[in-house]
Amino acid sequence: MSRVKVIAGNWKMNKTPSEAAEFLSELRESVKDIKNDIIAAVPFVCIPAAVQAVSGSNIKIAAQNMHWKDKGAYTGEISGGMLKDLGIEYVIIGHSERREYFAETDETVNLKAHAAFEYGITPIICVGESLSQRDAGITAEHIRIQVKGALVGLSAEQVSSLIIAYEPIWAIGTGRTATPEQAEEVCSLIRETVRELYSEAVSEAVRIQYGGSVTAETSSVLFSMPDIDGGLVGGASLKVKDFTIIAGYKK
């Protein structure tokens, strides 16, 4: 199966709404002829400006998180309904920073995945291991647990359409990048886990990104690996030239 590459920029806590609009106006011209799927995951406050800036283009806007409840006494949280009303099509769920700093768990990741689908929003589910876990030789076990926990109760059709992002925590924001072979090994493991849970067809359909200090220099060889279907890009997604190079990958 030929899977379309999906390149998502995770802006994290960067750019004001006016800065986002200016950046995306420039980016849309730079990537207009690219056939890969292109996503920008912007801060909540930037969503309206971002959606307007990319209207009619080949760029989709994602949120960086969401709550699993429709409404209620959850101060500071954002629901799927709110995101859908703003025109959001994708949402990042379970990013390592959310897990580390905001007590995200496999259970809440699963709840959020179900909630996203209820609103027709495609989840980008993040999994990954720390340096200590890799050094302890439990990367495979840890990743399998995260994948299985995230997908509990999801249908084969839902899993076929979602995106899983493998982000080795030890390679995020550190300047270190997993070798293409290391990245491929874990992405292949993720696909194998999906195959065990569902079927060959589902595992071949699901798109798996690599996210760990992806740069314009490293992206091409990473994306050439058979089980890596694009990237979840951090710092490089804040630079039009670099992100355009990454998004423009061709076999």
In which residue are the tokens 């379970």 written?
94
CA 94 to chain CA mean position, Å = 9
- The residue from 67, 95, 129, 184 that is catalytic is 95
Alpha carbon distance 124, 233 (integer Å): 12
- The residue from 97, 104, 129, 167 that is catalytic is 167
> Interhelix angle for 17-30 vs 47-54, to 10°?
20
Residue 95 annotated to the active site: yes
* H/E run at residue 40: strand 37-41
Burial category of 9 from C-beta neighbours within 10 Å (exposed 0-12, middle 13-18, buried 19 and up): buried
Q: Which residues contact 113 (CB under 8 A, 6 or more apart)?
A: 93, 123, 125, 150, 151, 154, 162
Alpha carbon distance 251, 239 (integer Å): 23
Residue 167 annotated to the active site: yes
CA 30 to chain CA mean position, Å = 21
The catalytic site residues sit at 95, 167
